Every structure is written in C-alpha cells, then in structure tokens.
Amino acid sequence: MDLQLEPFVIVIFGASGDLCKRKLMPALIKLAEQGWLPDRYALVVTSRRPIEDEKFKANLFSMVTTSAKILAQITDNVHVLADFDPSQGAKPLADLLARIDHKRRLFYAATPPDQFAVIAEALGNCSLLLDDSPLVLEKPLGHSLSSYRSINNAVSKHVSENLIYRIDHYLGKETVQNLLCLRFANLIFESLWNRSYIDHVQITVAEQEGCAGRAGYYDKAGTMRDMVQNHLAQLLCLTAMEQPLNYDADAVRDEKLKVLRCLSKLKREDIVIGQYGQGLVNGDKATSYRDDVDNSASSTETFAALKVGINNWRWAGVPFYLRTGKRLPTRESIIVVRFKSVPYALFSGLSELNNQIVIRLQPNEGVKLQVNNKLPGPGNVRVEPHQLNLNFSDVGNVMPDAYERLLLDALRGNATLYMRDDEVEASWQWIEPALTTERPALEQYPAGTWGPDNAQILLAATGHRWVNPQIYS
C-alpha cells in the first residue's frame, strides 16, 4: 500500500444531492475500510437549508453499507454547515476551517454548473484556496462551447488552472486506466496498434435504464452532451493516443489533447441520433422517453452513433465507431479493436475470422483476445475463433469504484485522471457541429433494441457491423 494520506479536510458543496449520497460517501467509506484515511481528517458538508445535524448525517449515509465501527469513525468527523449560501460569502466556512486547522484542503463542487463560479468567488474572497487546495468540478461542464468558456473564465478568475480538477468518472475506472498498461507495457500489442494492422475500432457504452430521476437535466442535455462529449471522447483518446513521455498529469493530457485536435470534422452523414419509444426491456414493458420526461414534443436524443476519423500518421483511414444510448438491451461498456484480415487465407474461411481485442469496461471487467485455432479432429483443417480471457476478478482484488480512485488522487494532488481546460475546450469544439449545423434528423427506436436501423447502416456502408457486447459478457 502507498503512503497513507496526511490529515485533510474535504468540503462538499451540494452535499444534499444524489451524487454525494450515491457516490462520494460510499467511496469515502471504502477508503476508510481499506485503511487509506489518516487518523485525523474532517468532512464538511454544506446545506442551503436549515437542517438538524444528525438528520442530515443519517440521510448522507443512507446508501452506505459498512460496519458500525467504520460508520461511526466517519460520522464523528462530519461537520454540517447548514443554512449556508456561498453567494453570500464564505465567512462561516472560513471560521469552521480555522477551528478544524487541517492544512490539506479539498473543495468539491457537487452542484449544477451555474454554481461553480459562485463557489470559486466565495473561496477566493476569503483566501481559502491554498497553493495545494484543489477545487473539483463535476460534469456537466457547460451546455456548449460558449457556456463552457463562460464557466471556465469565471472560475479561473479565482482558481489557478493547476488547482481546477474537472472530473470525468470514467477516467477513474480500473479498466479504463488499464488501457494504457495494455498498450504501453506490452510490446506485442503496441507494435500492432496502428493503421497497418487495425481495421477499425468500436466503442460502445450501453445503458439499460431510462431517464428516471434525471428528466429535468437530461431533457436539456441529451446523450451527445451527457455521454459523447466527455465519456466517449475520453475513451477514444486513451485508445488512440501516443505514449506520453512519463506518467504524470500534463504528459498524459498533452497526448489526449493531440488526439482531440486530430479528430475529423463531424458530418451529418456520419451521425445517427435516436430517441427510445415504448418497448420491452428484459421482458418488462418500458415507457417511451417522452412519457418518462413528461414532454410529448421532446426532440432530445437518447442514442447516438458516430463514425469518426483521426487525421494523423498512426490512424489515417481507420474508422472509430462510437455508440451510446439509453434503454438498450443491456448495460455493457466495451472497446473492440478489430484487426485486419490475414493477407493470404491459407485455410478455408480464415479471411472472415479477424483477430480482435475486446476490452470490457463494465460489468465483468477484463480483456479478451480473439485468436483463430484449429478444431481438433481428423479430416480437413477447420478453424474457428477462441478467446484468451483475462478476467480482472481473477486477479483477486475487489474492483474499486471510480470515485474511490478519483478522490484519493485529488487528495494527493495528482491531476492525471482529471481533465485540463484545453482538453475540455477541444472536446466541445469537436462535438458542437453535431449539436448545431450537422445535427441529423431524430429517429425513433423501441426500448430494448440497439437503436435506430440507421446505426447499423452506418457501419454496413463500410463493410462493418457492430459487435454485440453480450457475446463477451
């Protein structure tokens, strides 16, 4: 185990929200169970409403499962700052932090983005942001390129760039981090990781759930903003980037930025968007998106498929297909790297059996390498694909939640898994045509299917087809 953390205080704005209860508190509990937390630390949770401390704490940990001892250790270190509005200044918070007197501070804005600048100004005016005090900003980071720039400019007036930690929780997933190890720690893969050997790449992030509980946000955002601009763009970057000079924050983010700047301009014919209607999911009837958000005229997309090119030496001519959506048949996230056919098919049917690497991000995390193998038995040689399988569960460690790693890194001042300003801006610049001038017509698809028919046609036009993630579960 690495060195334990020094004493710290985490201040969470928006602590009464779902994110804090569902993700941040369980992550802190897991860190406590594994012995990462120091003997002395504090957790300050803020509420705009007057509220009883014990009632607030009980709600805060209502989704946590742990021992009574661990829970008592955490709750004893929680300070509730009720009736606190950062737009009125941060003096009550400054007074509380002075009494706690832990030098290491982490501020976490688990709020809507319109509060980021308000929080940054309050902290800056009270000189609470020390030289090593990160401010973590949750997504969404704006609604468009211009809104992102507006938010970032306002926050940057009070917080230096090296202290702004823009979170994308996909970067905290173990399998996502393992992408770099798979590529850059294994010569057998990296030497083939280019246009000479790879035919195409598929990235699928499928969600089975609808928009329950998120209708207000989602109907204004849609899957392009909610998933493609951040999660899928980050997966694309990690799959395609060059090896960084070293494994530190700026070196890794420099290489991701280069990929974003090389992405081909999105055109309408390379984009398919859809919205789920009524259907069957796991045999159960599912309502339509418009019923779920109570908006019969909604034109918000719940599905997107894109064909993307990368205009650089390594990837020129190799299509990257991105697909994500809600109310799909299953909850699966995979990256498929499909290799080219052998140049000469010695055995019958071999040209149809391409090698491929399947990286499972969730669930059942792992890596599968498809190789062609002779079937045992006399007679003609018969070849069929087999899987060399690495299940991460076989390693013996419990797979941590992404927020465990991200919180730990933020407390250590390690920004490698957080996004830099120019990286987020480049991502918005890339996706914006798909939201405006190049946005295609919205198509309907039944809940429980793999999206509109045109998502299949998008690949068929180049002789490809989507890999069914369920095959590699």
CA distance 347 to 257: 43
Sequence letter at residue 310:
I
Q: Which DSSP string corresponds to 201-214?
A: EEEEEE-----TT-
CA distance 35 to 408: 12
CA distance 46 to 85: 9
143 is catalytic: no
Bond prior to 134 in cis (omega within 30° of 0) = no
Contacts of 129 (CB under 8 A, 6+ apart): 105, 107, 123, 135, 158, 159, 163
Neighbours of 24 (CB within 10 A): 25
Task: Give per-residue burial for 409-440: e unless 16+ CB within 10 Å, then b.
Answer: bbbbebbebbbbbebbbbbbebbbebbeeebb
Note whether 213 and 294 are within 8 A (CB): no
The residue from 79, 231, 386, 464 that is catalytic is: 231
CA distance 204 to 461: 19
DSSP state of 329: S
Residues in the chain: 473
The catalytic residues are 231
